[in-house]
Structures are given as structure tokens and as C-alpha cells.
Structure 1
Amino acid sequence: MNKAAALLNLAEETLGLTLPIRLRAWDGSEAGAPGAPVVVIRNKRALRHVIWKPGELGVARAYVQGDLDIEGDLGEGLRTMWAAVRDARAADGSAGRPKIGPKQVAKAAALAVRLGAIGRRPPAPAAESNLTGELHSKERDQAAISHHYDLSNDFYELILDPNMAYSSGFHVTPEMSLEEAQTAKLHLICRKLGLEPGMRMVDIGSGWGSLTLFAAEHYGVHVTGVTLSSEQRDYVMKKAAERGLEDRVEVSLRHFRDLRESGVNDNGIDAIASIEMGEHVGDKEYVVFTESIHRYLRPGGRVLIQQMSRSNDAVGDRPGGGPFIETYIAPDMHMKPLAKTIGLIADAGLEIRDVQAMREHYPQTVAGWADNLKNNWSTAVALIGEENARVWRLYLVGGALAFEENRMGVDQILAVKPSANGVAGMPTSPLAWLA
């Protein structure tokens, strides 16, 4: 029996489409289109992963553990697959969606028996998150952030630019390096917020301090960073000391709901930034998030929120981005359509003044991170282990494609808290911050 042909036929029947791949089984048998991306099933454990957890998560587990791979360019392979799914769904709305009924289960089980692949459920990769407790409680939010961001500061230094900016850059020209694009993004945020020496700023979800340190050093503001990651807090404070910024930078290891405990007073903040942190707040909790921002800002104070989004259709399906992202990268994440986010910000009493779409910038940013991972693969494996390194390779390639193909977006939303008589104190033209 040609094992590869049998497996490919079952997969195509289950998905209801012809797969644009060539499949190679563990015995060396092959089937599928000549010259197409080659999917390699290295051993029978890959099948057990998919049998016990059909769909994206089972395939991801097999990939993360090295039981399944794609020869050549992983991005091109995934791009080819997505194109085939889109074309099939355009012709038949049910195509490309797994049809896992009793008939398919029986066929899969029978084939697994013939292939000798029946066995116990394989253990899930250690890289998976395992959160407990009430959704978006302070304790669970901290565990979710720790799962991803406390992986290894050394690893993130390996992947990110020298600013340690873990968000979309601003590629003014395609030729910009990763560092240049991130620096341009930081300047853009600071200009939009109208930062001037002596102002007080809060950076909610401050990460490794890219904006916190940049605003303090280049714009002379006093910044309170907010994070739930002790690794990030310690990193930022160390960098602040090295740069002589201790008098202008502090990092609060608190939930954004508890900022008053760190000396953030109502109506006392000149500027607030939240750079790709709002996705982690949750749907119901977002009202508390925007109302807190409004309460902390002084009249005339500005807020800039850079946030990822998903379309209405995508949110209805998987608001967190899908089983792989939700299990390995950002558990409990909830991305909203841009229009909903704008509405929630406005409902809190903040006046929307500018929205800048940056979707096309993200694939360029991610390409820089992916190049860093590829060029430093052995070091990355030594730092975080091969499973985690494979998680990151799949995450970066898949994430770039999601933005490239408009399944995800990212936007900068600038808003102001007007005074009681409506004074905003904003420039009359966005040229003030684009110059």
C-alpha cells in the first residue's frame, strides 16, 4: 500500500478539496502534485496527534514535536495551502472545513489500523499553555502574560531589534531595516501624543520598555510602565539604570486596574500609550480598560492605542486567532473588529482624532524577526529548546501571512480627553506628527 497516497486521499476527502501539496510518508512513499510543497510525515506519532485532536491543533502538535514538517520555504507552503482553501470556499462555502462525522472517523480509524498508527494519545508538547482559573481574573491574566513573555529575555534580544519593540514597526520605505522601522514607529507615537519634557506618561503593557525608555530618553517625559511580567519589569529597570534614566522611568508590576496603587492619579496623566496590549484585555473587560484610561488622563490628555484586529467573520470563528495561537502564543487573547474598538473608546468619553491602518507594515516587521530566528537558530534552540523554537517559526510565518492576506489588521488609534467645555488642544492637521 502506498501510505502517502492513502493518507492524502483521506485528507482531501475530509477537507473537500484537492490539496496542492506532495506528501511523503515515513516509509518514503510519496503522492500528490509533482513540484508542489512537500509535507513530510516523519513518523506515526504525527498521525496519532491528528487522530486524537483533529484539525489545526493536532497538526500543530505534530509540527512542534518534529513529527511533521514542510521541506523548503514554510511560508510558501502555507501560502499555497491558504490559496487552495480560499479558492475552494469561493466555489463551495463548505470546502476547506473539516467534515469529521462518523463516516470520516471510521475511515480514519480503519486506515490507522492498516498503517499501524493506532496508539495512546501522545502527550501534548510542553510548550502549550495550561491556564486555570476565572477568565481574565488578575491571576489568570498574569499567567497568560508569563507564558509568552517570560520565555527568555535573551531569546527576545536575539529576535527583536535593539529597541526591543515587540509590535509592528512603521516602514516608511520598504528598504528600512527592522531597527529603523521600529525607531520610526516610536517617534511617530511620541509625536502623536504631543510629548514634551516634564510631561507624565503611562505605558500600559510596556513590554521590554521600547516606548517607555525611548520616550524618557528622547522626549524628556516621566514614564510609568505597566506590566504583569516580572522578567520584563526587571529588564526595563536594568536598562533605565544603564542609561541614567532612573529619575524618569519606573515600572509597575501591576494589572492596569490597579494603577492607583502605583501613584497614578485620576486626571493627572498627560499621555497614555497601549501598544498591542489591548488584545489581551478581553471583550467584556475592554470597557473597564477604556474607562480607566479616561479617568487617568487630564483634560486635553491624549491616548494612543496600537492594536491588532480581526474582521467580523473571523471574530465569529476564532477571536483569539485560532487553536494554534490561542494554545501556544497568546492564550485568552480577544481581537475585535476595528469599528468595535473605536466605538468602545468613544463610549468612554474619549474623542477619536486619528486612525492609521498599518496592516501592510506587519509582514515586513515579522520578516525581520523571522530572519533573526533563522540566522540564530542554534542559539535560539539552546535558549528555549527545539519545541519552543519550532513554535516560534510557525508563529512568525503564519502571523505574517494572516496580515498579508487581510485576515488580521493592526491600527494606531489616537484619541483625546476633551475638557468640560470641549477644548482638545489638538493640532489642526496630522501633518504635525507625520513631519
Structure 2
Amino acid sequence: MNTTTGTPACAAQRIAPVIEQFLGGPPPVRIRMWDGSETGPADAPTVHVRSRRALRRLLWQPGELGLAEAYISGDIDLADDLADGLRAMRRASREQGLKAPRPGLADRVRAAGTALRLGAVGPRPPVPAARAGLRGALHSKARDRAAISHHYDLSNDFYALLLDETMAYSCGYWTSDAPDYGPADAQRDKLELICHKLGLRPGARLLDIGCGWGSLTLHAAARHGVRVTAVTLAAEQAAYVRGEVRARGLEDLVEVHRCDYRDVAGLPGFQGGYDAVSTVEMGEHVGDAEYPAFTALLHAVLRPQGRALVQQMSRGSTAPGGGAFIESYIAPDMHMRPLGETVELLEGAGLEVRDVESMREHYVLTVEAWHRTLEERWPEFVALVGEETARVWRLYLVGGALAFEERRMGVDQILSVRPGAGGSAGMPASRHGWYTEPGTVPAQRGDGAGTPADGADRDKGAGR
């Protein structure tokens, strides 16, 4: 015992057997305790347990959420780059075949005894303020509004700092690796790809459900002359898009509505059907039980031969909500399903699925770009939202990039059509015109056909 500080001299050696017991094997990381003692492989990433409160958090909240909250609060940190550290830990865990056993009562008693000897037993630490606290019935309109607000109403200033000038908060489409090609280019290429898949022409009517900060809405109206009805539940997003519509003089082409997707049928212009409907990474917020009604809505809003494009994240049966951390701090009540289930639900609603394109690797590049911005402008983020919320987003972005990289999550564009009488889809016989050579975007001719354009002709201002 250190008689000056009262701190056990070998905290790491005391805690090592407990860690091994709960992990099902030796730890894949180096662990440095608050007293400077260390345990674990010397060549592994170092996890710094800064205070006894970290252990207290894990006693009260074992597992992923307790670890995440210990990181968010600064009680645990990584001495190395967080992304490199998490990647190394996951690799070591796979190589060692670690599989955490379910601890019994005796295991918990021993762990509590160790924590007591380390002086880590005490009242439950406060939950970080960034944690969501939703009330009400799952996927009721009021609860969905609160869930969306928790994530998307963080502030327009925050997202303007994080995102590129397009304000597109979804997977980009990276068509070039040229040094001067960046996130905004990838987002514009994604927006143009969506417009071509939907066959948008001047005067066409598009319903953009979950329009975000209006990247697709504004692009379709400004570049393609499309009449857009934009829908979002987030107050901050609706205010931003309305401001951009006024600033760009698009009032005759764009209507912005802050409403639930279930209220779309009451909007002006619903009768008669839209030529196209888009929903870009919004369906994850709909819920599992509610998704059949959502796909039925997509079918109902379209005229015969109208097209629907769904860009949506996918995940298997394990942690369809993203896991305890994501569900508590980022996207409460989110539900992701395997791609095949989404296709089946779209077909069950009467839509004919015509094309599916995986964009998983594109999301790695997209999220890594957001993470670079976060790190490069860290003091600004901390000044804007506070240290804890900034650390939430660091963990979220790093973990998200790894999930897509390791194929634990996917994202896809699914194009479908509402067939007309006799089954006619009115679709092109091939994908010709949807895609272009890297670094170019299709130019829209007056007849709506797409042709490759020179990369220098890219509309650099289309997204903002």
C-alpha cells in the first residue's frame, strides 16, 4: 500500500484475474491502472483506466454500455489512436478465440471483492448527460419525434462543422481516388446517381421522406428542375432546408413539411401519385413491426411506373439496433434488418425490385472523412457541444467505420418500381446511363437521358 496516497501498489495485478475471468481468456490489450501499474501484452494497445470510478461503472453497468460510458466520461482512455486500438483489440480477440462466458453469482461476488479491495465500490456514477431518455410506447409518434430530435437536433452548427458543404449525412459514392476528390464530391456523385436511378426530369414530382438537411431535395430541384415535397421530423432540419430553399430561390419547386411519415397521406399533392419517392437512411428509424406499413406507404404514394429508391443500412439478427451504446447515445429505437428482408418487404408491398447496389466500402470512406474532421477540429467541437458529447461522437464514428469495414454492417441502394397495368415497369432495359467513369457525373439532357460529362463540368455548388 502506498502510504502517501492510500492507493494499492499493484492495482493491475489485482484486477487481471477478474478481467481474464470475464473475457474468457487473457486480455488482448495492455492495461494501465490509475496507480501506474500495468498488465497484459506489452506490444498491444494500451487502455488507461484513469480512476476507480471506471471499475465502479462496470460493476453497476457490465458490458458494452459500461465500457462506453467509462470512455465517454474520461474514466477510460486509449493511449493510442482509438481506431487503431479498437481494430487491434478486435483482431487479437478473434485470433485468441475469446468468448466471454456468462458470469455466475460466485464470479460476481469475487469481482465485487476485488473492487472493494481496490477502493472502487461505491454509489452508481452519474450517467453521462448525452444519454437518451425516451418515454412512451415504442414507435409512437411522440416517441419517434423525441428519438429523431435526440440525434438530429443536436444543432445545425454541429452538423455544419462535421459534414461537408452538401450537408449530406449519409453514405457517399466515391467514384475517384484522385487527390483533389473529397467527401463533397462523393456526396454529389451519390445525389446524381439517385436522380438518374429515379429517372428524374424537369417537372417530375419527388417525395423525399426523411430529407435531412435537404441535400437530395435541393440537388434534384436546382439541377434537374424537379418539384420536391420534402419531409422531416427534425425541427432543426426543417428550418435549415426552408432557409436554403429561400436563399436559392427554389420556392416554386420545393415544399418542406415537418411531419411524421405516417402523415404524408394528408399532404397537398398526395392524390394522383408521385413520379418518384426517395428515403435515404431513414427506414432504420421506422421500427421492425412498423416497416410493412412503411413499404405499403412507398407503394401508395407512387403513380403507376413510379420509382422508389431506398438507401438503407443493414445488419444481421445480432444487435439489429446497433448495440447498447448506439441505442442509448446515438439512435435510440433504430432497427436494421438483413438486406434480403428489406427486399422481401418491398416486394410484399407490391413494388418490383429492379436493382440492388451495395455501398458498404463507400461508407467506410465516408465515416472516416467525418472522423478526420472531428479530430482536426476537436477544440471547436468541444466548445460547441462539450467534452462528453464530443467523445460520444468519436466513439460512434470510429466504431461505425470498423463495423462497415468488418462487414458487421452494410448499406445498400434498392431501386424498385410500382408496375403499371399489365405489369409494365417503364424502366430502361439496362443500367446504361446510371454510372459514369470515375470522377464524372451524368449530365441531364432535356429529354431526361443521361450522358457522361467531363469531370470539370461538375456542379461544385449543387449541394449547398
Report the TM-score when normalising by structure 2.
0.90
CA distance in 1, matches of 2:26, 2:244: 53
CA displacement at 1:5 relative to structure 2: 2.6
Distance change >3 Å, CA 431–CA 5, structure 1 → 2? farther
CA distance in 1, matches of 2:177, 2:67: 34
Distance change >3 Å, CA 140–CA 407, structure 1 → 2? same
Greater mean alpha carbon deviation, residues 7-16 or residues 43-52: 7-16
Does the residue aligned with 1:236 lie in a helix, a strand or coil?
helix
Question: How is 1:404-423 mapped onto 2 (pairs within 5 angstroms)?
Answer: 404-423=405-424
C-alpha distance after superposition, 1:88-118 (max 9, x if no partner) = 44xxxxx433532112211110111110000
CA displacement at 1:20 relative to structure 2: 2.1
2:312 paired with 1:307: yes
Q: Show the counterpart of 1:82.
A: 90
CA distance in 2, matches of 1:298, 1:340: 24
CA distance in 1, matches of 2:212, 2:127: 28
**Which residue type is aligned with residue 156 of structure 2?**
N
Alignment RMSD, CA only? 1.1
C-alpha distance after superposition, 1:130-153 (max 9, x if no partner) = 011000011100000000000011
Q: Is the 8 A contact 1:267 1:299 kept in 2?
A: no
Match among 37, 42, 51 for residue 34 of structure 1: 42
CA distance in 1, matches of 2:99, 2:367: 27
C-alpha distance after superposition, 1:263-316 (max 9, x if no partner) = 1424420110000001110011011101011011000100100000012xxx2x
Q: Show the counterpart of 1:17.
A: 25
CA distance in 2, matches of 1:88, 1:28: 26
CA distance in 1, matches of 2:416, 2:128: 42
C-alpha distance after superposition, 1:369-412 (max 9, x if no partner) = 00110111111111111111000000000000000000000000
Q: Is the 8 A contact 2:45 2:89 kept in 1?
A: no
CA distance in 2, matches of 1:139, 1:188: 34
2:168 paired with 1:165: yes
Does the residue aligned with 1:84 lie in a helix, a strand or coil?
helix
Q: Which runs of 4+ in 1 moved over 4 A?
A: none
Q: Is the 8 A contact 1:282 1:332 kept in 2?
A: yes
**Which residue type is aligned with residue 322 of structure 2?**
G
Q: Is the 8 A contact 2:172 2:366 kept in 1?
A: yes
2:81 paired with 1:73: yes
2:296 paired with 1:296: no
CA distance in 2, matches of 1:150, 1:221: 27
**Which residue type is aligned with residue 184 of structure 2?**
E
Q: Is the 8 A contact 1:272 1:293 kept in 2?
A: yes
CA distance in 1, matches of 2:305, 2:51: 62
Distance change >3 Å, CA 119–CA 271, structure 1 → 2? same
Q: Is the 8 A contact 1:306 1:411 kept in 2?
A: yes
Structure 1 segments unaligned to the other structure (5+ residues): 90-94
CA distance in 2, matches of 1:40, 1:16: 21
C-alpha distance after superposition, 1:48-106 (max 9, x if no partner) = 111100000001111101111001210111111212333344xxxxx433532112211
Distance change >3 Å, CA 71–CA 98, structure 1 → 2? farther
Q: Is the 8 A contact 2:172 2:363 kept in 1?
A: yes
Give the number of equivalent residue pairs: 426
**Which residue type is aligned with residue 358 of structure 1?**
M
Match among 243, 246, 254 for residue 251 of structure 2: 246
CA displacement at 1:319 relative to structure 2: 1.0
Q: Show the counterpart of 1:148.
A: 151
CA distance in 1, matches of 2:173, 2:237: 23
Distance change >3 Å, CA 225–CA 97, structure 1 → 2? farther
Greater mean alpha carbon deviation, residues 416-425 or residues 330-339: 416-425
Q: Is the 8 A contact 1:24 1:39 kept in 2?
A: yes
CA distance in 2, matches of 1:181, 1:97: 40
Q: Is the 8 A contact 1:3 1:115 kept in 2?
A: yes
**Which residue type is aligned with residue 19 of structure 1?**
P
Report the TM-score when normalising by structure 1.
0.96
Larger helix proportion of the pair: 1
Match among 190, 209, 224 for residue 185 of structure 1: 190
CA distance in 2, matches of 1:4, 1:266: 68
CA displacement at 1:422 relative to structure 2: 1.2
Q: Is the 8 A contact 2:361 2:404 kept in 1?
A: yes
**Which residue type is aligned with residue 67 of structure 1?**
D
